Structure 1
Amino acid sequence: MSHLNDLIRQLATKDAALARDIEKEVKALADRRAFGLNFERHTPEAVDLPGRRPVKGSKVRVLPPRGEMPKNENDRLWEVEAIDRETDPLVAALNALDGSGDINRASVEDLVVVAEFNDPIYPGLVSTGKVERGGDKPYHSVINAENYHALQALLFTHRGKVDCIYIDPPYNTGAKDWKYNNDYVESDDLYRHSKWLAFMERRLLLAKELLNPDNSVLIVTIDEKEYLRLGLLLEQVFPDAVQQMVTIVMSSFGSPRAQALDRVDEYAFFLYFGEASPSRVFDDLLGAVREERVEPVRWESLLRSGSGFRRADRPNLFYPVYINTATGAFVGFGESKPLSAPRNAWTIPEGCGAFWPTRKDGSDGRWQVGQETMSTLFEQGFAKVGGVDLANGRGSVYYLTKAQREATRTGDIAILGRDEHGVLVVEHTGAKRTTAKSVWNRPAHAANLHGTSMVKSLLGGRAFPYPKSLYATEDAVRLATLHNTNATVVDFFSGSGTTAHAVMRLNKQDGGKRRSISVTNNEVSAEEQKVLWQDRLRPGDSEWEKHGICDYITKPRIAAAITGKTPDGEPIKGDYKFTDEFPMADGFEENVEFFTLTYESPLRVEANYAFGRIAPLLWLRAGSQGRRIDDLSRGWDVAETYGVISDLDHSEEFAQAIAAAPAASVAFVITDEDRLFEALVRELPEHVEPVRLYEAYLRTFEIEARRAAER
């Protein structure tokens, strides 16, 4: 080894760059494990950024002329040396990045900017829409992005804070199911397995930093083509985790395999970190479903339905319910007023919000009980506030019926405790909880019926290849988050959005406020790409992008699940089955916002010119709940869960405002002055975390870029 180092030093006197490259490769070989999983760490992946304007120094590909299919030469990477701004259209001078010394000229319109995965990126987010039916509940997030870059963005917002990651990565079938460096990996590629392992390792290393080391779960599904390699890779990336592989029967009919038995199953690796362990459940997922199995206790709505549901039918049962705007806790209610009284006739207590018994069509309804009964229900823990929309005076109150309350006295319903608002935590006692088995065999997990067919129902006939059964994903995430109803669940291979859908199902079953973060790109299928290229379209064109996974499948599927309507506005046909049965057209009381990842200039970020793009990241870091601060025109602002200040002349006002917001946990301070930052930190409440911008933001991504280059 010493002789090899001497030779490298001699080479450095003649070609320093080549010597450094050889030294790096030698180090990689020396670091290889004598035992375990060895594979090539291939040239860092690159991702196209259509729509980003090329500038001097940009890495780019040259697209083929419109109407032509891409060829091998279109995969070459070039650096923009200069842009001739005297021409129309603009023309760029290019230098090849493969060391060949080739130069080129191309129209700027024919260039697509490329980011390699060892390049520093400075991400932002742009909102592309939202669905709001959950009142003050946290928002689910859907991010259209290359997932490696999205994971880097989440290092700034969620490092060490994620409770569960569930992913269904590409299975590496060789059937154009994933790309590496802009090319589909074919089944005859000699490096197919090592490319897949390098692809997965880069993302798992970032996922490792997102997971809560003290209590979290990672779930990775796979089939027989890569399960052996995946198991070894997981052991090497997560040596301290408790790892187990589960077999899931997903089709009793079987899927034919050449020269092999028909496949009826796939696999899921469960990794437990810190104190995490599988939650005990009613169904072990293998043996016969026990007759004594019971469903979760169902809380009923106090909003009157059926006959006599209008305010005019019982005016004395129309009154406001008051909640603490910071905590969401029940505070009290207003008195009854005559039928003619408008809502502004009530005086709302300071620090509170109000909602009335409003029906889905916006008309005035009525509660089922009067103030005295409602007060008793809340005092005893038999009532709780559901989704609330204070801006429109809408909200829900749920309660345990008289029969259910009697069941708590007889012991048929067990009282396990109370939540932070004093609401009883209850479950039926007709069945004992058990530990799920390592083989799952349930009709609910059939991928064709409860994956493919369900997506078609939600999207009015749109198809998506091989979606997971909603109920299989639900069962997996339940094992990880059953007793953590405020869990953050991340899926960075979200595909059609099954994980987010499953999280919403779980929230409905136990009144939870879990939030999901789903990441998917807007890749267009291989067959559709051929047609689009021939139609003179390119990535980045609106007619191209509307066919992508995120825009065509993921976003409309999650929106449909919440609203109960297909993208065409028709009520979804069919019912949810198994644990919680109800019409799919009912939807969910949940909120979701859709984003697209952007790539910002660090100079514009540092100069505070990109705040609109950074603002969603600050909101995500603060919990994605409540109002988002998108405008700092007055120099500072405080929302329900966080505050941001850029004009430190208002430090005193800012500190007072954030102290008066009980749910605020983060203060983002935009300054490059050490003294001013430290002075403001001393004025903040102890429970508020100070984050200095844009130092913390820039440092996160610069450090990650250096680490990526070393891998």
Structure 2
Amino acid sequence: MSRLTDLIARAKARDSALGEELEREFKALASRRAFGLNFERHRPESVELPGRPVRRGDKVRILPLRGSVQRPDQRLWRVKRIDGKGEARMALVELIDAEAPERVDVAVADLVVVAEFRDFIYPGLVSTGRVSRGGDKPFHTVINGENFHVLEALTYTHRGKIDAIYIDPPYNSGATDWKYNNAYVEKDDLYRHSKWLAMIERRLIVAKSLLKSENSVLMVTIDAREYLRLGLLLEQIFPEARIQMISTVINPKGVSVVGGFRRADEYIFVVMLGDAAPSRLPLSAEWSPSSIVSGSHRVDESDVTGQETEKMSRAEPGWTSMMRRGSEAARSDRISMFYPIYADPQTRKIVEIGDPVPEGEETAPGKEG
């Protein structure tokens, strides 16, 4: 809708009667809200292309003075003419979508080419190097670029061929962690959530076209700021999929929240298309009994062979998974918290918790049976 308001403003500037009539119809339409997640599809994002030479007809921004900390001018200009040579080149630029014509002369060195997402872009890939260590084994390709353009480029070769996509979008915390139209989105921005949704929606739609409809998965990590809106958005974009949200512990101690509870986890949305579903992993012979005892892995009897059980019984305990870490984690800080845990390697169960071991002693008394 924000794009429509821009267009209505332009129409009012040229024909006030027509613009006012369009505005009345727009307001009547906007008052009828559809069921489900509603947000404004903001004006498509733009991306600056600093390495691209400036040419006549380009869409550009005027850069601030070198060393300046002032906010850059977000207005877009069209290059009408370029004169001169070398560092002395000057460009005549005209303000785009202005109610009254505005032209200025600017040094070409002070301009940066801009592409909006509605512009036609024909991305290409340039190899910058490689590391070959696997011989004829499967290899990885790292593509460095604006993620929307990279996704669009992949549609030419991988549409409907991708098995899995994992994305970790900006969490919209209000800090300087992401931009919309080249400007950081502040905490007090009234359109902060809808700008974030507009940004992520465009990318999810392209990502969907890359996934295999018969068997594929999309995984999206998120925290408490946008998880509710993201869940609704995923349901709208993937109505045919099975969507599950799971938690992942990122800080066992928890993160302080002013005026709220400490949070220890974040969330992962798993979007399963077609026959995609989680499958049980076999228990590795390298896992130690302490991994099972400490509860960091849930083990089913059918997954463990006799040979693996024997190997696990001989393995050294992985005590680090059961020890406190961080501040005040030394034994001297918590004398009463240094104690033995007795486990039965056959039943893989904790059978008893011993008394604290006196300071200066390294082992607990042996236990019979």
Q: Do these two structures clear the TM 0.5 threshold for a shared fold by scoring above it?
A: yes
Change (3 A) 1:26 1:136: farther
Change (3 A) 1:291 1:232: closer
Match of 2:94, SS? Answer: strand
In the alignment, is the contact (CA less than 8 A) between 1:63 and 1:70 conserved in 2? Answer: no
- Equivalent AA in structure 2 for residue 126 of structure 1: V
Give the CA deviation at 1:31.
12
Q: Indicate yes or no: 2:38 matched with 1:38.
A: yes
The aligned counterpart of 1:560 is: none
Distance 1:165 1:87 in 2: 45
**Which structure dedicates a bigger proportion of its chain to helix?**
1
- Equivalent AA in structure 2 for residue 249 of structure 1: V
Q: Deviation per CA, 1:152-186, whole angstroms, max 9, x where unpaired?
A: 10111211011000111100001111111111111
Gaps of 5+ in 1: 1-7, 297-410, 414-427, 431-441, 449-711
TM-score of the aligned structures, taking structure 1 as reference length: 0.38
Equivalence map 1:207-286=2 (5 Å): 207-282=207-282
Distance 2:117 2:222 in 1: 25
Give the CA deviation at 1:142.
1.4
The aligned counterpart of 1:52 is: 52
- Equivalent AA in structure 2 for residue 35 of structure 1: F
Give the CA deviation at 1:104.
1.6
The aligned counterpart of 1:140 is: 140
Distance 1:86 1:178 in 2: 37
In the alignment, is the contact (CA less than 8 A) between 1:168 and 1:221 conserved in 2? Answer: yes
In the alignment, is the contact (CA less than 8 A) between 2:41 and 2:195 conserved in 1? Answer: yes
The aligned counterpart of 1:94 is: 93
Distance 1:222 1:279 in 2: 23
Q: CA RMSD in A?
A: 3.6
The aligned counterpart of 1:108 is: 108
Distance 2:84 2:75 in 1: 24
The aligned counterpart of 1:164 is: 164
Distance 1:169 1:32 in 2: 31
The aligned counterpart of 1:289 is: 297
Distance 1:28 1:215 in 2: 43
Q: Deviation per CA, 1:560-586, whole angstroms, max 9, x where unpaired?
A: xxxxxxxxxxxxxxxxxxxxxxxxxxx
Distance 1:126 1:294 in 2: 49
- Equivalent AA in structure 2 for residue 167 of structure 1: I
Q: Deviation per CA, 1:334-360, whole angstroms, max 9, x where unpaired?
A: xxxxxxxxxxxxxxxxxxxxxxxxxxx
Match of 2:208, SS? Answer: helix
Runs of 4+ in 1 over 2 A off after TM superposition: 25-33, 69-72, 85-88, 285-296
TM-score of the aligned structures, taking structure 2 as reference length: 0.71
Change (3 A) 1:293 1:145: farther
Give the CA deviation at 1:70.
4.2
Match of 2:47, SS? Answer: strand
Change (3 A) 1:62 1:281: same
Distance 2:217 2:300 in 1: 30
- Equivalent AA in structure 1 for residue 258 of structure 2: A
Distance 2:175 2:299 in 1: 43
Give the CA deviation at 1:288.
5.2
In the alignment, is the contact (CA less than 8 A) between 1:32 and 1:38 conserved in 2? Answer: no
Query: Bigger radius of gyration, 1 or 2?
Result: 2
Give the CA deviation at 1:65.
2.2
In the alignment, is the contact (CA less than 8 A) between 2:91 and 2:108 conserved in 1? Answer: yes
In the alignment, is the contact (CA less than 8 A) between 1:255 and 1:263 conserved in 2? Answer: yes
Q: Indicate yes or no: 2:85 matched with 1:83.
A: no
Distance 1:33 1:208 in 2: 26
Distance 1:106 1:62 in 2: 8
Match of 1:126, SS? Answer: coil
Give the CA deviation at 1:52.
0.1
In the alignment, is the contact (CA less than 8 A) between 2:87 and 2:109 conserved in 1? Answer: no
Give the CA deviation at 1:33.
5.5
Instruction: Give the aligned length.
Output: 293
In the alignment, is the contact (CA less than 8 A) between 2:77 and 2:93 conserved in 1? Answer: yes
The aligned counterpart of 1:190 is: 190
Distance 1:42 1:274 in 2: 32
Distance 1:225 1:32 in 2: 27
Give the CA deviation at 1:137.
2.4
- Equivalent AA in structure 1 for residue 90 of structure 2: V
Match of 2:148, SS? Answer: helix
Give the CA deviation at 1:281.
2.5
Gaps of 5+ in 2: 1-7, 284-291, 311-319, 327-369
Give the CA deviation at 1:194.
0.6
Distance 2:29 2:247 in 1: 36
Give the CA deviation at 1:86.
5.8
Change (3 A) 1:106 1:205: same
Give the CA deviation at 1:138.
3.3
Distance 2:227 2:126 in 1: 37
In the alignment, is the contact (CA less than 8 A) between 2:81 and 2:93 conserved in 1? Answer: yes
Give the CA deviation at 1:144.
1.6
The aligned counterpart of 2:315 is: none
Match of 1:75, SS? Answer: coil
